[in-house]
């Protein structure tokens, strides 16, 4: 006779899995791009900015508010390459919507004639050394030939798809300076790196701390949640070239924080949810010698699908 208190096998398995995942006390992180896998990723980026000190700008003394939203879909196919690896990267989708009040502009690779449409399907190759760090990027010139001539979109594309920016983006998609030891909840480690500013504007120094926060499943995958927080600095004033005009820029009181859902079996973050708060002072010669900008930027990066390489 069946007991009326019998628990379905699926529920037992689910409970056992949840107990195992939540009860795990330590982990040794194993980070690596998985060979023979094609990984699909989405990135949602939202920038909310307030600028003051621009003569004649909408908003006057109250400042000008802008919102920029960027959505991207991409895949990277990981293959063996010498002593290291390579990722063949293809962009599946790219869209941007800029709202500056009186000025609005949007682009979507799904639309005919969009400057982003020519990027879809084209590929670049990122070469990694044996330590999973980017050595070089191949195919960017051919990719950029597909971009349109719109100046706003063109500037964005040049910033996002310059060789140095692609290197930094791929390196920053990984955890930095991972310790080779067991880690438990509450353990911390520090990291620092530099990232380039667009338009030849020098570099930002990134200094932060990772903290093992908890063990949790994300979309049915066991993950360790790692907290990330720190600050962004420039080494003094940095010089940028904006449409032929030299701009001096300096970061002040800029911070970042976020959670990384790291799948140790996969060897990569499943999801990264990050908030960056930037405060900048800028000077555009005698035209606008005292510009300030506050920007809050949210970024959600997520693996949407993994399949075997063909």
* The most confident of 56-65, 176-185, 287-296, by mean pLDDT: 176-185
Q: Is the pLDDT of residue 19 over 70?
A: no
* Residue 188 resides in a domain: yes
* Residue 27 resides in a domain: no
| Length of the chain counted residue by residue | 310
Choice among 45-54, 234-243, 271-280 with the minimum mean pLDDT:
234-243
Q: Which of the four pLDDT bands, split at 50, 70 and 90, describes residue 16?
A: very low
Closest by Cα among 104, 118, 108 to 148: 118
The per-residue pLDDT for 203 is: 76
* Residue 13 resides in a domain: no
The per-residue pLDDT for 168 is: 74
To 5 degrees, how large is the angle CA 156–CA 241–CA 199? 40
* Residue 3 resides in a domain: no
Instruction: CATH number of the domain at 129, please.
Output: 2.30.230
* pLDDT (tens digit per residue) in 108-123: 999 887 878 888 888 8
Helix (H) or strand (E) holding 80: strand 64-81
* Residue 203 resides in a domain: yes
Q: Which domain, by its residues, includes 95?
A: 36-308
The structure tokens 């949640």 sit at 225
Percent of the chain with pLDDT over 90: 44
pTM for this predicted structure? 0.82
* pLDDT (tens digit per residue) in 22-35: 455 899 999 999 99
Tokens encoding 251: 């970061």
* The most confident of 5-19, 62-76, 148-162, by mean pLDDT: 62-76
* Residue 55 resides in a domain: yes
Q: What are phi and psi of 23, to 5 degrees?
A: -85, -5
Integer Cα distance of 284 and 282 in angstroms? 7
Residues 108, 95: contact at Cβ < 8 Å? yes
Tokens encoding 17: 């899995």
DSSP class of 33: P
Q: Return mean pLDDT, the chain.
A: 82
Integer Cα distance of 224 and 216 in angstroms? 6
Using alpha carbons, list the distances in angstroms from residue 86 to 33, 116, 122, 128, 261. 9, 25, 16, 6, 24
Partnered with residue 112 across adjacent β-strands are none
The per-residue pLDDT for 33 is: 92
* The most confident of 57-66, 166-175, 214-223, by mean pLDDT: 214-223
* The most confident of 54-68, 127-141, 157-171, by mean pLDDT: 127-141
* Residue 26 resides in a domain: no
Neighbours of 121 (CB within 10 A): 11
Integer Cα distance of 20 and 14 in angstroms? 10
The per-residue pLDDT for 291 is: 81
The per-residue pLDDT for 59 is: 57
Q: Is the pLDDT of residue 159 over 70?
A: no
DSSP class of 60: G
* Integer Rg of the chain from CA: 22
Q: Is the pLDDT of residue 4 over 50?
A: no
| Total of domains in the chain | 1
* Residue 299 resides in a domain: yes
Residues 208, 228: contact at Cβ < 8 Å? yes
């Amino acid at each position: 006779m069946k007991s009326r208190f019998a628990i379905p096998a699926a529920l037992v398995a689910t409970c056992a899995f949840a107990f195992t995942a939540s009860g795990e006390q330590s982990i040794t992180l194993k980070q690596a791009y998985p060979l023979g896998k094609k990984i699909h990723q989405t990135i949602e980026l939202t920038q909310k900015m307030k600028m003051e000190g621009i003569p004649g700008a909408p908003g006057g003394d109250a400042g000008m508010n802008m919102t920029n939203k960027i959505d991207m879909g991409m895949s990277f196919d990981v293959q063996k390459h010498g002593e290291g690896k390579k990722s063949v990267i293809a962009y599946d989708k790219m869209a941007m919507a800029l709202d500056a009040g009186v000025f609005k502009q949007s682009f979507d690779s799904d639309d005919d004639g969009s400057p982003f449409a020519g990027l879809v399907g084209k590929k670049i190759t990122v070469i990694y050394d044996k330590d999973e760090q980017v050595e070089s990027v191949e195919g960017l010139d051919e990719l950029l030939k597909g971009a349109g001539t719109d100046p706003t979109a063109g500037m964005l594309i040049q910033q996002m798809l310059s060789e140095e920016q692609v290197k930094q983006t791929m390196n920053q998609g990984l955890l930095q300076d991972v310790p080779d030891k067991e880690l438990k909840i509450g353990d911390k480690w520090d990291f620092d790196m530099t990232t380039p500013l667009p338009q030849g504007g020098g570099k930002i120094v990134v200094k932060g701390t990772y903290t093992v926060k908890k063990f949790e499943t994300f979309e049915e995958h066991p993950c360790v949640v790692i907290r990330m927080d720190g600050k962004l600095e420039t080494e003094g004033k940095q010089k940028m070239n904006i449409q032929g005009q030299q701009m001096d820029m300096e970061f002040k009181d800029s911070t970042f924080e976020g959670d990384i859902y790291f799948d140790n079996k996969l060897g990569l973050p499943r999801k990264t949810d990050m908030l960056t708060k930037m405060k900048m002072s800028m000077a555009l010669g005698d035209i606008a010698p005292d510009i300030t900008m506050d920007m809050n930027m949210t970024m959600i990066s997520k693996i949407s699908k993994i399949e075997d390489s063909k």
